[in-house]
Chain A
Amino acid sequence: MANQIRKGIIEGTHAAGAGHPGGSLSSAEVFTYLYFEEMNIDPANPKDPDRDRFVLSKGHTAPGLYATLANRGYFPVEDLKTLRHLGSKLQGHPSMQYLPGLDMSSGSLGQGISAAVGMALSAKINHKSYRVYTLLGDGELEEGQVWEASMFAAAKKLDNLVVIVDNNGLQIDGKIEDVNSPYPIDEKFAAFGFHVINVENGNDMGQIDAAFKEARTVKGQPTAIIMKTVKGKGVSFMENQAGWHGKAPNDEQYAVAMDELKKVEEKLCRK
């Protein structure tokens, strides 16, 4: 499924001629895991008050979320080609006004985590058992609001909140440690009162599964899952290239990328 989502990302950003493939590809496995395995959701009833919530705090990787929602049945996969087009429900960054199934609008970095915290707090106030997940970029951790939200989440003991960090090591201007290092990420979240889980390979489903299972056992504090991932994962020429943060593939690159992903698919099918 993660491979299908990768194809959707390439399909969307190519048709849009813009978008953010790099960080979308690095998160393909976690998107897949959340929407196909972990979260209690129903595409036919996207407003169910008891559903689990997901906030894409790193909203620029909307192509990844959109491809996931489409493959999960929230809307036709064919619509992914309308990404960023005038009148599309697939806005450049996620907008809940345009797309039912989104739990929050996001895109301005640092803000999504606060909304996720508000949702988790509401569950506590109203004695509901739903869980809230939010995905942040590693560069996003440079925003002070992330730490305001983290302090609050721990102080209010929001153990129904899981903060996921996609640690692909790159941001627009280069390597995160060269721009303004947020490292050590795990120690920071631990110091803020989180239960921290490090995932060595965030593109490995088995490791992701173990991390989220562990998060469910945590009581009295929020969980942070720090995932080492590869930006541009699955498309050879995009992997570990900061240049593919916010650039769409041209026709030739599109063909190469889709070919690579199709080969992976064939290999998977043969297994």
Chain B
Amino acid sequence: MPEVKKIATRDSYGNALVELGREHDNVVVLDADLAGSTKTAVFRKEFPERHYNAGIAECNMMGVAAGLATTGMVPYASTFAMFAAGRAYEQVRNSIGYPHLNVKIGATHAGISVGEDGASHQCNEDIALMRTIPGMVIINPADDVEARAAVKAAYEHEGPVYMRFGRLAVPVINDRPDYKFEIGKGVLLRDGSDVTILATGLCVSAALDAADKLAADGISARVINIHTIKPIDEEIIIKAAKETGKIVTVEEHSIIGGLGGAVSEVLSEKYPTPVKRIGMNDVYGESGPAGVLLAKYGLDADGIAKTVKEFVK
């Protein structure tokens, strides 16, 4: 088996910002003393005059980004998901969301794959929080290809965008010539007839591996990548519900309010279908190696396959 290429989507974020900075003079990057970790330091190296460090003060950083946006700049405000969506929630809501300003939020180190830092830094609530803000677009890319595409699509989109990136290097699964990224459009990655697995972020790769395992057990699982949580692709979800009868959602996030919540809301109103949500089950994470944590909380291929198998039985 050939070695699978792995890249953390936070690296993709930094690299895509550099490309974007070369194309557009009005791109400006803000960070909150985490430029080395969020990878905006790569941008700073090439464009020091367009990179500003707000220091450890995320609330002000979001407000400064809002102010910059009112003047036609396109700020990418960057910090860990915990602080972008958590600490600065109200600033994002009132200073960015309410005036619908053109601010892009690059939130790295989302979910439990942060690993050893532990629960205080493992944000499993950001998608839920950001979803409640009217007009906010939420993108949770699955790999390097998708993350870079998302950073550029966010620039083209007029209005606030929340992008979620991970610390952990993850397999590149979208490296194909016909790959196309469109905000709000789910991607069918594998067809199947017994059940549909709707996955987002780093769980997409694990869901594909889980589908392989399920096939060996005679279960045909469709796998769809929902990279945009908001606006969500209702059409692809309802179609999958109609055709496969059962839906499983997989995310490195609380099962409350994230992908599982969004999908349940769509289906309960438009096409009631049994749904199983896989994610953090209303608990905090903990310290440990990322891979071990993902396995412990049932988010690796084995865990997903096991849950799906019990659900379709």
- Chain A interface residues (CB < 8 Å from chain B): 49, 53, 55, 95-97, 103-105, 107-108, 110-123, 125-126, 144-145, 148-149, 151-152, 155-156
Contact = CB atoms under 8 A, between A and B. Distances in A.
Determine the main DSSP class of B at the interface with A. helix
B71 A49 contact: yes
A116 B100 CA distance: 17
30 contacts: A49-B71, A49-B72, A53-B70, A55-B67, A96-B99, A97-B99, A104-B70, A104-B99, A107-B94, A108-B90, A110-B59, A111-B94, A114-B64, A114-B95, A115-B66, A115-B67, A118-B64, A118-B65, A118-B66, A118-B69, A119-B67, A119-B70, A122-B67, A126-B71, A126-B73, A145-B60, A145-B63, A148-B60, A149-B63, A152-B57
Contact of A104 (B67, B73, B91): B67
A121 B52 contact: yes
Given A117-B67, A122-B68, A149 B60 contact: yes
Contacts of A118: 63-71, 75
A155 B56 CA distance: 13
Given A97-B100, A108-B90, A115 B63 contact: yes
Contacts of A125: 28, 49-50, 73
Nearest to A96: B99
Contact of B54 (A49, A107, A152): A152
A62 B73 CA distance: 27
B50 A113 contact: no
Contacts of A104: 66-67, 70, 99
A152 B60 contact: yes
B91 A114 contact: yes
B73 to A, nearest CB: 5
Contacts of B71: 49, 118-119, 122-123, 126
B67 A114 contact: yes
B64 A152 contact: yes
A104 B68 CA distance: 11
A104 B72 CA distance: 13
A143 to B, nearest CB: 9
Nearest to B98: A105
B263 interface: no
Contacts of B49: 125
Nearest 6 Cβ contacts at the A-B interface:
A118-B67, A114-B63, A148-B60, A148-B57, A115-B67, A118-B64
In the complex, which of the residues A103, A104, A105, A144 has the most CB atoms of chain B within 10 Å of its own CB atom? A105
A235 B271 CA distance: 61
Contacts of A155: 55
Q: Which of A107, A113, A114, A116 has the most CB of B within 10 A?
A: A114
Given A111-B91, A114-B95, A118-B64, 7 more contacts: A114-B60, A114-B67, A115-B66, A118-B68, A122-B71, A148-B60, A151-B57
Interface in B53-93: 54-55, 57, 59-60, 62-73, 75, 90-91
A103 B63 contact: no
A115 B52 contact: no
Nearest to B56: A148
A116 B99 contact: no
Contacts of B90: 108, 111
A175 to B, nearest CB: 27
Contacts of B60: 114, 117, 145, 148-149, 152
Contacts of A49: 71-72
Given A122-B71, A122-B73, A117 B95 contact: no
Nearest to A94: B99
Contacts of A123: 71
B286 to A, nearest CB: 30
Most chain B beta-carbon contacts within 10 A, residue among A49, A96, A116, A121:
A121
Interface string B164-193: 000000000000000000000000000000
A80 B91 CA distance: 29
A103 B57 CA distance: 23
A220 to B, nearest CB: 17
A165 B91 CA distance: 21
Nearest to A104: B70
Interface string B256-290: 00000000000000000000000000000000000
A95 B99 contact: yes
Nearest to B63: A114
Contact of B95 (A97, A103, A111, A119): A111
Contacts of B50: 125
- Interface-centre pick from A49, A111, A118, A120 (highest chain B CB count, 10 A): A118
B59 A145 contact: yes
Given A116-B67, A122-B73, A156 B91 contact: no
A247 to B, nearest CB: 24
B95 to A, nearest CB: 5
Interface in B92-128: 94-95, 98-100
Interface string B235-247: 0000000000000
Q: Which among B62, B70, B94 has the greatest number of chain A C-beta atoms within 10 A?
A: B70
B26 to A, nearest CB: 9
A270 B308 CA distance: 86
B50 to A, nearest CB: 7
Contacts of B100: 97
A121 B73 CA distance: 11
